[in-house]
Amino acid sequence: MENENIENNVPVSEPASKDTEADKMLKRRFISGMLIGALCAMFVFFAGAIFFILTNGVHAGGQNENGVLNSETVKKVKMLENLVDTNYYKDDVDKSTEAEGIYKGLIESLGDPYSVYYTADELEELKAVTKGVYYGIGAYVGMDQEKNVPVITGIMEGSPAADSGLMEGDIIAEVNKESIQGLTLDEVVAKIKGEKGTSVHLTLIRDGSVDNVEVDVIRNEIQVPTVTTELLKDGIGYLKISEFDEITTDQFTEGLAELRASGIKGLMIDLRSNPGGNLVTVCDIARQLLPKGNIVYTVDREGNKQDYTCDGTRQIDIPVVVLINQYSASASEILAGAIKDYGIGKLVGVKTFGKGIVQSVFDLNDGTAVKLTVSDYYTPNGYNIHGIGIEPDVEVELDIEKAQRDKIDNQKEKAIEVMKELIDK
């Protein structure tokens, strides 16, 4: 499950679930067939390797005439390469870049925004992000589904984005004076990220501003504080989870323990603009909250079911309120959906993003990798929320103008009201 942080609010994720036991089984199955027949050119060899991911391989010593990599497609790829070599107006075309384009194009042909081919550099960046450290500006970026534009969905405290005056709700129109129209979220995020100390220029559309807002942000190393806590009035503990990375479980456990030590009467979990992340992480956190039973279950294309369960030994014994919005995706929806299904808490905000599918990353053993969607997931009561989202129990839209101008969070204020009612029962 990804945004898909940025620096990637597709929730990397995000956006995307990392290797589970089921994923590892699929990976072993994938790797076991990786030996393919020797092909004449390195160019064709790698195209075959990528093709193999989707077709379970080709037989050694020949091509699968019923698959993508058959004699006709190999012939056409060679023809295109020759045309480029002899007719393209620049003579410094990088062959490795051409090859990467083939691999990326094959995966993009699936029409699935969550299935991605990663170059070696992109894979290293992905690994850094999932560990909670990367180079960027310290802002979360998501795709507004209604307007189909990238938007700033959150700002990390003390980050370059915060220092530069970026605001939640800012629509990104250009990066370094180049239009991002038609680009995917991953492509926009890749343009914003960069080496420490370098600058990125953002052109923003901001509510209340007649003209576009032009901002220069100096990139830096970002160590993501994925969990923050606050002790509110009336014994309410506030715990915000920005994404589900490898470091998040320990941060959540520590944050919850600190709040419980303060004698809180209720727990508010803020999942707004959380793009998702690691499936194992969200299940480990859910086990500190839920009763005995399923947290979530997945079903692959062959109908195989994988249960992720909770033994109920650490079920929370105080009222819970969960804040959600249209950018709460993937792993966020797993936690919110389970809390709602078990009836142990109230959801406040607006309907979530609706990402009910799971991705796994397959290592190609050459420094590159492919992330593929491998299954659907279902809430404990059997709901698949992909393309649908999760409805809140109490609906309240965020007043963007008040949030930006007056720093007033009306959704959080409403969640406090709901919590007080639960505590007083």
How far, in Å, CA of 350 to CA of 361, rounded?
31
Assess whether 17 carries a catalytic annotation: no
Q: Exactly one of 341, 346, 371, 414 is catalytic; name it.
A: 341
Residue partners of 283: CB distance under 8 A and separation at least 6? 295, 296, 308, 310, 334
324 phi/psi in degrees, rounded to 5: -135, 155
Residue with tokens 């991605």: 116
How far, in Å, CA of 70 to CA of 266, rounded?
62
Return the axis-axis angle of helices 95-108 and 42-55, rounded to nearest 10°. 20
Beta bridge partners of 395: 349
| 263 Ramachandran zone, left/alpha/beta (phi>0; psi -120 to 50) | left
Q: Strand pairing of 266-270 and 320-324?
A: parallel
Longest dimension (CA), the chain: 78
Count H helices, E strands: the chain?
A: 12, 19
Q: Exactly one of 193, 355, 414, 420 is catalytic; name it.
A: 355
Neighbours of 258 (CB within 10 A): 14
Assess whether 75 carries a catalytic annotation: no
- What is residue 220's three-state secondary structure? strand
Q: Exactly one of 13, 328, 330, 332 is catalytic; name it.
A: 330
User: Environment class of residue 146 by beta-carbon count within 10 Å: exposed (0-12), middle (13-18) or buried (19+)?
Assistant: exposed
Query: Token digits for 358?
Result: 């799971």
Assess whether 18 carries a catalytic annotation: no
Backbone CA torsion sign across 390, 170, 178, 197: negative
DSSP secondary structure letter of residue 318: S
Query: Token digits for 211?
Result: 């003209």
Catalytic residues: 330, 341, 355
